[in-house]
Structure 1
Amino acid sequence: VAKMAKLVEEAQNNKSKTQRYVDECAKYYTPGVCVVAACLAGIPAAMRVHDMEKWYHLALVVLVSACPCALILSTPVAAFCALSKAATSGLLVKGAEYLEILSTVKVICFDKTGTITKGEFSVSSFHPLIDNQKLLY
């Protein structure tokens, strides 16, 4: 049990490609937005523009509307929730990157009776190749 808990913890610490991309963009995006806002407030002040309240308001609007907080916070939270749900369902996923890869999978084939199943055979569904009315005759 301790080994499984350690694997789950390691999986949650591994960042996915999307998480790394968002973190990398945030390194440049956030300071860039701050520079733009500072210029919007600072340049008119240096030029002694009379209506500074308008420029301060515009700088504040840029800061609020360009804030990437939702994206920066939601990416790791979504990955953490997915890994936690998988772990509570009995699935061990090595990291969020593997969940992203899993989203591109089209077909999954299993061939380990007794290993990944209970070993009890049952018909889960039946799809006839001909119409149901013809089966009655």
Structure 2
Amino acid sequence: VAKMGKLVEEAQNNKSKTQRYIDEIAKYYTPAVVVVAASLAAIPAAMRVRDVEKWYHLALVVLVSACPCALILSTPIAAFCALSKAATSGLLVKGAEYLEILSTVKFICFDKTGTITKGEFSVSSFKPLIHNDKLLY
């Protein structure tokens, strides 16, 4: 159980391509949002515009609505939840990157013979995707 926990922890520490991409964008997006919001507050104040409170309010609206928190936090949290759910279901996924790859898979074929879990070589069941009549030809 301890080894399984360690493997799950390692899987959660490995970032997927999407997570790395979001982190790279956040390096530029977050400062840009702060600069735009600060400019909306500072420039009218420096120009001594009459209704400065409206500009402060607009700066706060821009800062809150363009806040990258949802973008930056959603990807790692979704990956963490998926990896945790898989682990509690008895599945060990190496990382979020493999979950992203799985989303593009169209067909899956399983060959579960009990080799890993029981050490026995036997087919437990067989479920074809086509009718048995077509298998005869």
Q: Same fold (TM over 0.5)?
A: yes
Match of 1:120 among 101, 104, 124: 124
Unaligned runs of at least 5 residues, structure 1: 130-137
Deviations 1:25-45 (Å, cap 9, x if unpaired)?
A: 111111101101111111111
| Mapped partners of 1:113, 1:58: distance in 2 | 63
Unaligned runs of 5+ in 2: none
Cα pair distance change 1:45/1:122, threshold 3 Å: closer
Compare 46-55 and 115-124 and name the one that shifted more. 115-124
Amino acid aligned to 1:92 = L
Structure-to-structure mapping, 1:17-32, within 5 angstroms: 17-32=17-32
Please report how far the alpha carbon of residue 115 of structure 1 lies from its aligned counterpart in structure 2 after TM superposition: 2.9
* Post-superposition offset of 1:114: 2.9
After TM superposition, the structure 1 stretch with the greater mean CA deviation from structure 2, 103-112 or 29-38, is: 103-112
Asked if residue 8 in structure 1 is aligned to residue 12 in structure 2, the reply is no
TM-score, normalising length: structure 1 = 0.82
Give the greater-gyration-radius structure (CA): 1
* Change in CA separation of 1:105 and 1:49 when aligned onto 2, cut-off 3 Å: same
Matched residue type, 2:53: E
Runs of at least 4 residues of structure 1 off by over 6 A?
122-126
Match of 2:102 in 1: 102
Q: How many angstroms apart in 2 are the aligned matches of 1:123 and 1:32? A: 55
Counterpart of 2:21 in structure 1: which amino acid? Y
Compare relative contact order (CA 8 Å, sep 6+) and give the higher one, 1 or 2: 1
Describe the SS at the equivalent of 2:58: helix
Separation in 2 of the partners of 1:127 and 1:119?
19
Contact 2:112 2:123 in 1 (8 A): no
For residue 7 of structure 1, report the CA deviation from its aligned partner. 0.7
Counterpart AA for 1:56: Y
Q: Which residue of 2 aligns with 1:62?
A: 62
Identity %: 83
* Structure 1 position 123, deviation (Å): 6.4
Call closer, same or farther: CA 1:123–1:46 in 2, change over 3 Å: closer
- Alpha-carbon distance between aligned partners in 1 of 2:126 and 2:35, rounded to the nearest angstrom: 65
Match status 1:80 vs 2:80: yes
AA partner of residue 115 (structure 2):
T
Deviations 1:64-109 (A, max 9, x none): 1101111212211110111111111111111001100111111222
Q: Tell me how large the CA RMSD over aligned residues is.
A: 2.5
